[in-house]
Structure 1
Amino acid sequence: MEICFVLLILFIHQSYGIIYRLDDTEYKLMPPLNYIDDYDSCLQDSDALYCTMQLKLVSDTPNVVMDLITNYSAWDLKHFDHSKLYRGVCVTRTCNMNKQEVTMNLNNSLETCMNEHLWKQYKLKAKLLTSPYCYSAERDIKLDFWDIIVGSICILIIIVNIVATLYDIYVYKKPNTKGMDILLSFSIIRSWSRLQHADYRIKQPVERLKGMDGIRAIIMIHFVFGHSILPLVIVIANPHDFEKMYSNISCHILLNGSLIVQAYFVMSGILLSYNIKRTTERNTMTWKNVTNNLFKRWLRLIPSFAICLALESTLMRHFGAGPLWQLLGTRVNEDCRRYWMWNFFFLANYNSGSYCMPHTWHLAADMHMFCFGLIVFALVRNKFWKRAILASAFLIGIISSGIVTYIYDLRTLMTVKPNSLLQTFTKDPNFDYLYKPTHTNAPAYVIGLITGVLIYRLQKSQFDIQKYKKFRILYWMLLPTTYVILVLNIIHYQDGPPLPSYIRVFHQMLLRPLFAAMCAAAIVGFVFKIENFYRAILEWDGWIWVAHVAYTTYITQFTVMGLIVNNTKTLNVFSKYILVQAGGITIVTFAVGVIVWLLIDGPFSNIVKICMETPTTNKQSAKLK
């Protein structure tokens, strides 16, 4: 033990107060980061009391173990905060206390129980960080007014779908009327047919954009798979193995995958400007057209989004009962009730510190930039002012990214720190000030807007790309180059001081525009058929349904993950097999996305089309979502 102690002191001295690495023997000198007693076994006792809690380690006197914890946790880029412990304790067994005795003075009783073990083995004490959350064998579920309302709405939607489907099968034989079309929009048979088809894929010249279905589908699979790892690593039995993962270069494709969202902004910008240019060929757009398009887009997005938000605010709290429920479930429910308006009106990307559906920041940013692009392209007639506005938005995005990086001393675009995972990136300066604001993502959208105009003009001029096919090798290099960019971000995770601030500032100013430009180049390439390998993959008809359910899968994925975390009864073990588990979660998430699309998103989108489009409306101009 003395030898380990001497080696430890030498290690700390050489690291100048920060410990970057520990071997397994040294790591075991610290208390386990997470520990939970058997939940189901505990609650089999009629008088059982099971409590989960977060603890903060403290020491009244100088303590070698506490110094080790402090110095090791200081490197939060790769390490968990080992001074904060998570415990799930069967109080009536582990603490040998009866239920009545504990509940009389809950906090003191739990601290006494935990400190007995910590002091005996580590000469440390702990204090409760948050109020404990306790379960007993008798769980009393009380539904409030909003629980009943939301539950009734969900049941009503299911009933309407069933009635419409049965009517479609057994009764409906008359010619279509508007009222009948609205009812039959809820027919699952018709929704299933719409799910597998896309009319725009056979209409010239719009069909040349069908490769975007493939991009949207592939990126969404990447997104959901990457996010599906989160519920498996939030509370794990072997955190040291997870911390070692940061030294594995291949893992940085997932760790730095947040950059890929820029492709969505590029595609959204392309579709907007391209469709506006086609619409204004025949009609002049006015403020009325702009407000109608904005309202139509909001109506298309809000039904499934509102149902998901309502469920998170109400009924979801009744679907969690595991020892990890307090860590995530209660906070999500409370914040969704408190901040629901921020989400409902797509302002969540400027609401810091909320656990309510944090992944929907992208929808808010996209909505804001859709409004911006629609106004600029529909209403600004003067070419000089239109270009000046776009250039200004582009520069604001680049400059603000650099300023934020400098002020908050940020390392990279989205630093995936272990502690940030525990908090689902809430109150993370990278996430709040650099990654999710609309203005810092504007360059990608502007590039998309410009690319949409470019594609439209090249199509009108009968552009022939054959003479440029000698550059196909450069086009083929786009995909591997994007992965190289993702992997190269490992330099920001290197042990030691960060790169000089001016390098990090310029890196953040140029990273997203560069990636967006590469995405735009790839899209232009397949639109004009520069090659056939990538194009054949992206234009495969099998992507249609995945692209259709991308939105519903995206908004429901954290609900699915929340159910998994909240009902987990044991600590997960981090290993290579976790990728298989994440694959299973991905499949389940897409299945939920399909169900939500069939019951809610598909029917309501069709109703919006029926009610808001006139016979003379160019239906392709409505494909702005």
Structure 2
Amino acid sequence: MGHRVPRYSSLLWGVCIPSSCSSFDLEEELSQRVSDLGISVKVHNNMCSVKSFKRPYSFGKTLSITFFLAILLLLSLGTILDDGKEGVTNFEKLLNAFSLKRNLRKVFDLSDSPTREKGVDAYRGINAFALLIAHKSMAMAHNPYVNKVSFSAVFGMPWAVVGRSAILYTDSFLYLSGFLNARNLLSDLERKGTINLKDRLIARWFRLFPLFVSLMLFCTYILPDLNNGPQWNLVVEEHSRVCEKNMWKSFLFIHNYFGFEDMCLTHTHQIGMDMQLYVATLPLMLVIWKYSTLGWSLLALIAMASTVLRYLAIYWYDISMFVYYGISVQKLLDAARYSYILPTHRATIYLIGVVMAYLMKTKKLNFTLTSNQTRLLWTFCLVLMTATIATPYKWGLEGYQYEHFPAAMFSALSPILWGVFMSVSHWAIVNDYAGIGTAFLESRVFKFFNKIAYSVYLTQFPIFFYNVGVQRHAEFYSPLLLLHIPEVFTVTAISILTTVAIEMPFNQVYRIYFG
């Protein structure tokens, strides 16, 4: 595959030749030079690029440029004409929505909102940071290093289990999504006694789609023309070709059913999965509200079925949700296709979030803990968290041989154990049992990150792979490269820009025209 999941090649060659030469010329020349070593050579034409080449204007590219020019026009008008007053007409409100001055003030305003839930910002920030490191590690595996063996050895150490268990951090976001969605739906049910499906779906569309489609259009039609490099065709051009062919699946939020090989922006599988779980939650919450016994029975049945499906998928297809030592690229892709990116297999922890929202909303868990009980509760949470992450650490060590049963049990039980840790610790935070950790969990850093979290999630991969594509030298690997300061700064800056220029304006457009 290579364009998103690395091939883990030991040697990477970047060769400069005259643009009049073809891939066959290079293949023949290299074959002659390494023939004495018994090495065969194959040069793929789609890996060759010409520095000055510009792709012709297609309908998609023309549409993308028009879209971004329209956004720039609205941002310019909104910012220049912003006099600080609230608009009267819808057009004035629209221009205010695209005011960069106004949106920057909002994004840096860290005062608490009335609907803010304690702990959510911290959980989102901590897990996003863990995923950022995991995603960066995947991007780094594409790069050439003079000490490539050391690079591989580092990720074979016992502590690397923290990265190999990265599925747990995506489970955290499913828990938060289930919790927040259920809490909002319960508020609707308390006020109105019903759920307006149309309004809910429109609101969700405005929340997810504008920034999502902006990034797809940019990565498909704009980014490939911005630079070049030895691996540019692999990690940028190839992904653009996949997007051009399969983008329509993402428009319908069904792209997570087609595997990573044919997915535009592979890291956005979570958006499709989240959208589908959100839609399924709407009628489920209505049933729970009106027919309590039936609703809770249905929820329990779905959670159990999801657990069984995870177990069976792992066992039948010889795959693993833990990235064990020596796992092949094909097995990683199979794990994604048959379980990781399917809402039916990931629903359990989402539903744990739904249950927790109901228990907190209805105040069914209102009781007081003593100091000793609080310490015992946090000890339980920390032990459960550590055990869930670290139990399969031996699978990451050299010499591990894949076994069906342990892999299937980890896949089936880890979301439940992680969900128990998330829900219990979340309850403790909400009820002010965090003690000395309160200052950390309620820090302004997490509050700020919460405002740009969606943009950070979407933009990090294109930035990582842009840097992979343009790299023209082999460097010395060091764990410090995981937090490359200029790259972290770039991700943060672009996330702030996309938040104030696209995400916040379109959320405001929804409020203007749909109430």
Note whether the superposition's TM-score is higher than 0.5.
Answer: yes
SS at match of 1:90: coil
| Cross-structure match for 2:33 | 117
Structure whose residues are more often strand by fraction:
1
| Cross-structure match for 1:184 | 96
SS at match of 1:346: coil
| Cross-structure match for 1:134 | 48
TM-aligned CA distance change 1:572 to 1:541, over 3 Å? same
Letter in 2 for 1:195: V
| Cross-structure match for 1:258 | 167
SS at match of 1:356: coil
For the Cα contact (< 8 Å) 1:225–1:586, is it kept in 2?
Answer: no
TM-aligned CA distance change 1:235 to 1:316, over 3 Å? same
Unaligned runs of 5+ in 1: 1-53, 55-77, 93-98, 614-625
Letter in 2 for 1:445: Y
- Where in structure 2 are the equivalents of 1:341-380 lying within 5 Å? 341-352=248-259, 353-354=261-262, 356-379=264-287
SS at match of 1:285: coil
TM-aligned CA distance change 1:79 to 1:593, over 3 Å? closer
Task: Tell me by how many angstroms 1:409 deviates.
Answer: 1.4
Letter in 1 for 2:498: V
For the Cα contact (< 8 Å) 1:266–1:445, is it kept in 2?
Answer: yes
CA offsets per residue over residues 130-184 of structure 1, 9 Å max, x none? Answer: 3353345653454333223212221221221121112114xx6576444422220
Task: Tell me by how many angstroms 1:321 deviates.
Answer: 0.9
Structure whose residues are more often helix by fraction:
2
CA offsets per residue over residues 104-152 of structure 1, 9 Å max, x none? Answer: xx42x323222223222x2232334x33533456534543332232122
- Where in structure 2 are the equivalents of 1:377-416 lying within 5 Å? 377-379=285-287, 381-415=290-324
Letter in 2 for 1:112: E
Letter in 2 for 1:124: I
2-structure distance, mates of 1:355, 1:378: 33
| Cross-structure match for 1:301 | 208
For the Cα contact (< 8 Å) 1:354–1:426, is it kept in 2?
Answer: no
| Cross-structure match for 1:526 | 429
CA offsets per residue over residues 49-99 of structure 1, 9 Å max, x none? Answer: xxxxx9xxxxxxxxxxxxxxxxxxxxxxx99466xx64322335xxxxxx6
CA offsets per residue over residues 381-436 of structure 1, 9 Å max, x none? Answer: 2112211221121012110111111111124445586864xxxx897112222222
Task: Tell me by how many angstroms 1:557 deviates.
Answer: 1.4
TM-aligned CA distance change 1:505 to 1:546, over 3 Å? same
For the Cα contact (< 8 Å) 2:359–2:365, is it kept in 1?
Answer: no
| Cross-structure match for 1:89 | 15
2-structure distance, mates of 1:363, 1:183: 29
SS at match of 1:229: helix
Task: Tell me by how many angstroms 1:456 deviates.
Answer: 0.9
Deviates more, 1:271-280 or 1:398-407: 271-280
| Cross-structure match for 1:593 | 495
Letter in 2 for 1:610: I
- Higher-Rg member (1/2): 1
Letter in 1 for 2:381: L
Letter in 2 for 1:609: R
1-structure distance, mates of 2:492, 2:239: 22
| Cross-structure match for 1:222 | 130
Unaligned runs of 5+ in 2: none
For the Cα contact (< 8 Å) 1:245–1:251, is it kept in 2?
Answer: yes
Which structure carries more relative contact order (alpha carbon 8 Å, separation 6+)? 2
1:440 corresponds to 2:345: yes
Task: Tell me by how many angstroms 1:294 deviates.
Answer: 1.4
Task: Tell me by how many angstroms 1:448 deviates.
Answer: 0.4
Letter in 1 for 2:433: I
For the Cα contact (< 8 Å) 2:321–2:407, is it kept in 1?
Answer: yes
2-structure distance, mates of 1:534, 1:431: 36
Give the TM-score taking structure 2 as reference length: 0.90
How many residues end up aligned between the 2 structures?
A: 508
CA offsets per residue over residues 578-605 of structure 1, 9 Å max, x none? Answer: 2342x43233112111100000101111
- Where in structure 2 are the equivalents of 1:304-319 lying within 5 Å? 304-319=211-226
- Where in structure 2 are the equivalents of 1:508-547 lying within 5 Å? 508-547=411-450
Task: Tell me by how many angstroms 1:273 deviates.
Answer: 1.8
What's the Cα RMSD here? 2.7
TM-aligned CA distance change 1:480 to 1:193, over 3 Å? farther
- Where in structure 2 are the equivalents of 1:433-512 lying within 5 Å? 433-458=338-363, 463-467=366-370, 470-476=373-379, 478-479=381-382, 481-496=384-399, 498=401, 500-512=403-415
The partner residue of 1:559 within 462, 482, 501 is 462
Give the TM-score taking structure 1 as reference length: 0.75
| Cross-structure match for 1:44 | none
TM-aligned CA distance change 1:279 to 1:198, over 3 Å? farther
Letter in 1 for 2:422: C
2-structure distance, mates of 1:190, 1:347: 35
- Where in structure 2 are the equivalents of 1:22-37 lying within 5 Å? none
Letter in 2 for 1:90: C
2-structure distance, mates of 1:151, 1:164: 20
SS at match of 1:168: coil
The partner residue of 2:77 within 157, 163, 168 is 163
TM-aligned CA distance change 1:351 to 1:135, over 3 Å? closer
1-structure distance, mates of 2:327, 2:149: 11
For the Cα contact (< 8 Å) 1:404–1:433, is it kept in 2?
Answer: yes
2-structure distance, mates of 1:273, 1:415: 35
1-structure distance, mates of 2:373, 2:499: 43
SS at match of 1:314: helix
